[in-house]
C-alpha cells in the first residue's frame, strides 16, 4: 500500500532532510535516515520520498513524505502512534492511504515557507528556531517582498553548486506580519531553489537596514547584478505546507 504522511521536525537535530554521506565511512543522521531506521525495525523496507529536501538546521511543520507499506501494516493510526513514541525530533501529524505511484515532489502544486525574525533580546532557548535582528522596518520589508512575486529567474538567489535545470521560479504570493513576539515572512510558490528563501530574506534585511536600495534589489531579482550573496541563518526557516 502506498502511504502519505505529513510530518514535523526540528531541523537543528539533523544534518538536513535527505540521506547523505560524509566521505565513505561515516553516515550523517538526517530526517529520512532516522525514519528509515525505525521503519526497518517495524518490517517496512521502503525508501522515504519527500516533497522536497531541507538543509541542515531548517525545520518543517508540514513536510509530506511517501512510502510503501507491506501487507501486514494496515493500521495506519497505530503506525503513527508507534512512530511518535519512538522518534525523537520528528512527529507524524497524519498517515493516510495514497494512490499508487503518488510522488510527493513531482505532484506538488505549491509550497509554503515561513521565516521567523524577532527583535527581542537574544536568548539560548530560541537560538535554533528564530533569527535575531536588532531592528527592522516592517513597511520596507513588506514592499520588498512584493518585488519577488511573479515569475523571475532567481539565478542570484540560489546556493552555489546547485544543479537545477532551470532557475526560473514562480512566487504566487508573499505576506509579512507579526505574531506575538515574532515577525513572519510568508512565501508561497510552485517551487523554490536551494537556499532561495534564505537569500531572499537576507536581501530583505539588507533593504530594511539601508545597505541596499529597492532598485538594487530589483536588479538582483532581474538577474542583472548580485548585491547580496550570504543567506540568512537556517534557524528561522520552516517548510510550512505542501499543496496538491
Range name among 26-30, 78-82, 190-194 with the lowest pLDDT average:
26-30
For the stretch 183-216, pLDDT in tens is: 999 999 999 999 999 999 999 999 999 999 999 9
pLDDT band, very low/low/confident/very high, at 161 (cuts 50, 70, 90)? low
118 plus 55 within the same structural domain: no
Q: Is residue 50 part of a domain?
A: yes
Identify the helix (H) or strand (E) that includes residue 206: helix 196-208
Asked whether 73 and 110 are in contact (CB, 8 A), the reply is: no
Considering the domain architecture, whether residues 32 and 92 belong to the same structural domain is answered as: yes
Specify whether the CB–CB gap between 42 and 55 falls below 8 A. Answer: no
Residues 207 and 172 in one domain: yes
Q: How many domains does the chain have?
A: 2
19/171: higher pLDDT: 171
Cα–Cα distance for residue pair 58/200, rounded to 1 Å: 15
Domain contains 220: yes
The answer to whether residue 184 is domain-embedded is yes
Q: Quote the pLDDT of residue 50.
A: 96
CA–CA separation, 11 and 6 (whole Å): 15
Q: Indicate if 29 and 70 belong to the same structural domain.
A: yes
pLDDT above 70 for 134: yes
- As a whole number, mean pLDDT of residues 108-116 equals 98
Q: Are 156 and 187 within one domain?
A: yes
Residue 120, in any domain of the structure: yes
- Parallel, antiparallel or unpaired: strands 237-243 and 59-68: parallel
Q: Residue 103 falls within a domain, yes or no?
A: no
- Please choose, from the candidates 157, 143, 153, the residue with its C-alpha nearest in 3D space to the C-alpha of residue 214: 143
* Cα gap 95→79, rounded to integer Å: 8
DSSP 72-97: T---HHHHHHHHHHH-SSEEEEEEEE
Of all residues in the chain, the percent with pLDDT exceeding 70 is 95
For residues 119 and 153, state if they share a domain.
Answer: yes
What pLDDT, in 10s, does the model give residues 140-158? 999 999 999 999 999 999 9
Residue 219 structural domain: 110-243
Last residue of one domain, picked from the residues 53, 74, 97:
97
CA distance 140 to 144: 6
Indicate which residues carry an active-site annotation.
55
Q: Parallel, antiparallel, or unpaired: how do β-strands 26-28 and 20-22 relate?
A: antiparallel
What's the rounded mean pLDDT across residues 148-174? 91
Distance CA 111, CA 109 (A): 7
**Domain assignment present for 133:** yes
Please state which of the ranges 14-23, 53-62, 122-131 shows the lowest mean pLDDT: 14-23
Last residue of a domain, one of 45, 69, 97: 97
Question: Could you tell me if residue 37 is inside a domain?
Answer: yes
Pair (140, 174) in one structural domain: yes
The stretches of 113-180 forming alpha helices (DSSP H) are: 138-148
In a domain, 105, yes or no: no
The pLDDT of residue 80 is 98
pLDDT at 162 over 90: no
In 3D, which of 237, 241, 243 has the Cα closest to residue 114? 237
Same domain, 87 and 164: no
The model carries a pTM of 0.94
Residue 156 has phi, psi (to 5 degrees) of -90, 10
**CATH code of residue 142:** 3.30.70.660
Contact 139, 69 (CB under 8 A): no
Residue 24 binned pLDDT confidence (cut-offs 50, 70, 90): very low
User: Among 97, 118, 137, which residue terminates a domain?
Assistant: 97
Q: Domain with 59 in it: what CATH number?
A: 3.30.70.580
Amino acid at each position: 500500500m502506498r502511504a502519505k504522511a505529513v510530518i514535523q521536525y526540528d531541523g537543528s537535530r539533523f544534518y538536513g532532510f535527505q540521506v547523505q554521506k560524509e566521505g565513505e565511512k561515516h553516515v550523517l543522521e538526517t530526517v529520512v535516515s532516522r525514519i528509515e531506521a525505525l521503519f526497518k525495525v517495524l518490517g517496512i523496507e521502503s525508501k522515504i520520498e519527500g516533497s522536497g529536501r531541507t538543509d541542515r538546521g531548517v525545520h518543517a511543520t508540514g513536510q509530506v513524505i511517501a512510502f510503501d507499506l507491506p501487507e501486514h501494516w494496515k493500521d495506519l493510526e497505530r503506525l503513527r502512534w508507534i512512530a511518535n513514541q519512538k522518534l525523537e525530533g520528528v512527529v507524524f501529524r497524519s498517515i493516510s492511504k495514497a494512490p499508487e505511484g503518488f510522488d510527493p515532489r513531482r505532484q506538488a502544486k505549491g509550497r509554503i515557507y515561513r521565516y521567523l525574525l524577532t527583535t527581542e533580546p537574544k536568548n539560548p532557548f530560541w537560538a535554533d528556531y528564530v533569527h535575531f535582528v536588532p531592528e527592522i522596518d516592517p513597511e520596507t520589508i513588506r514592499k520588498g517582498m512584493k518585488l519577488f512575486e511573479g515569475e523571475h529567474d532567481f539565478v542570484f538567489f540560489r546556493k552555489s553548486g546547485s544543479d537545477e535545470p532551470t532557475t526560473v521560479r514562480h512566487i504566487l504570493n508573499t505576506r509579512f506580519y507579526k505574531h506575538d513576539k515574532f515577525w513572519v515572512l510568508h512565501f508561497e510558490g510552485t517551487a523554490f531553489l536551494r537556499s532561495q528563501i534564505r537569500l531572499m530574506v537576507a536581501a530583505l534585511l539588507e533593504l530594511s537596514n539601508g545597505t541596499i536600495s529597492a532598485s538594487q534589489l530589483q536588479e538582483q531579482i532581474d538577474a542583472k547584478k548580485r548585491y547580496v550573496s550570504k543567506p540568512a541563518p537556517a534557524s528561522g526557516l520552516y517548510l510550512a505546507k505542501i499543496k496538491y
